[in-house]
Amino acid sequence: MNEKKENGKKTALGRQAAATPHDTYFRYVFQQPQPARDLVLNVLRPEMGVVLPAGDRVVAVEPQSISFVDERLSEHRSDLLVTLRTSSGWELALYLLFEHKSRNEHGTIFQLMRYNAVALGRMAVERGKQGRRAVPIISVVVYNGPGPWKAPTELSDVLAVDSLIGKRAAEFSRFRYLVMDVGISMSDSYIGGPVARTALQAMYAASRKLGRKGVLAVVNSLTQPSLPGSFREATVRYLVQGRGDNARMIVATMQEEGYTVMGETMISYAEELRREGKAEGKAEGKAEGLAEALIRLMDRKFKLGASDIQQIHAVRDLTKLQAALDETMEPESSLESVLEKLQ
* pLDDT attached to residue 301: 81
With contact defined as beta carbons under 8 Å apart, do 213 and 176 qualify? no
Of the listed ranges 25-34, 43-52, 185-194, the least confidently predicted one is 43-52
Average of per-residue pLDDT across 139-152 = 88
Separation between Cα atoms, residue 302 and residue 257, nearest integer Å: 57
- For a pLDDT cut of 90, what percent of the chain falls above it? 6
Residue 75, pLDDT above cutoff 60: no
Q: What is the pLDDT of residue 174?
A: 86
pLDDT class for 10, splitting at 50, 70, 90? Answer: very low
Mean pLDDT for the stretch of residues 278-286: 55
Instruction: Tell me the average pLDDT across 227-250.
Output: 80
Q: Output Rg (C-alpha) for the chain, integer angstroms.
A: 23
Which residues does residue 180 pair with via DSSP β-bridges, in sequence order? 142
Distances (CA, A) of 181 to 104, 191, 203, 301, 343: 12, 14, 10, 41, 36
Higher-pLDDT residue of 95, 3: 95
Average pLDDT over residues 183-196: 82
Q: If pLDDT is split at 50, 70 and 90, which confidence band does 51 have?
A: low
Residue 272: per-residue pLDDT: 60
b/e map 92-128, b = 16+ CB within 10 Å: ebbbbbbbbbbeeeeebbebbeebbeebbebbeeebe
The 10s digit of each residue's pLDDT in 112-130 is 998 888 888 888 998 899 8
Confidence of residue 4 (pLDDT cuts 50, 70, 90): very low
Task: Among 32-46, 216-230, 286-300, name the one with the lowest average pLDDT.
Answer: 286-300
* pLDDT for res 5: 38
pLDDT band at 109 (very low <50, low <70, confident <90, very high): very high
**pLDDT at 15 exceeding the cut of 50:** no
Region of poorest pLDDT, from 1-5, 202-206, 229-233:
1-5
Task: Identify the DSSP state of 102.
Answer: S
Please state, in angstroms and as integers, the Cα–Cα distance from residue 297 to each residue in 194, 260, 302, 309, 342, following that order.
49, 54, 9, 12, 15
Residue 321 has pLDDT above 60, yes or no: yes
Higher-pLDDT residue of 52 and 338 is 338
Tell me if residue 158 falls in helix, strand or coil. helix
- The average pLDDT across 199-205 equals 88
- Mean pLDDT along residues 52-68: 76
Q: Inform me whether the pLDDT recorded for 241 exceeds 60.
A: yes
Residue whose C-alpha is closest to residue 85's, from 62, 110, 65: 62
d(CA 95, CA 341): 41
Residue 184 has pLDDT above 70, yes or no: yes
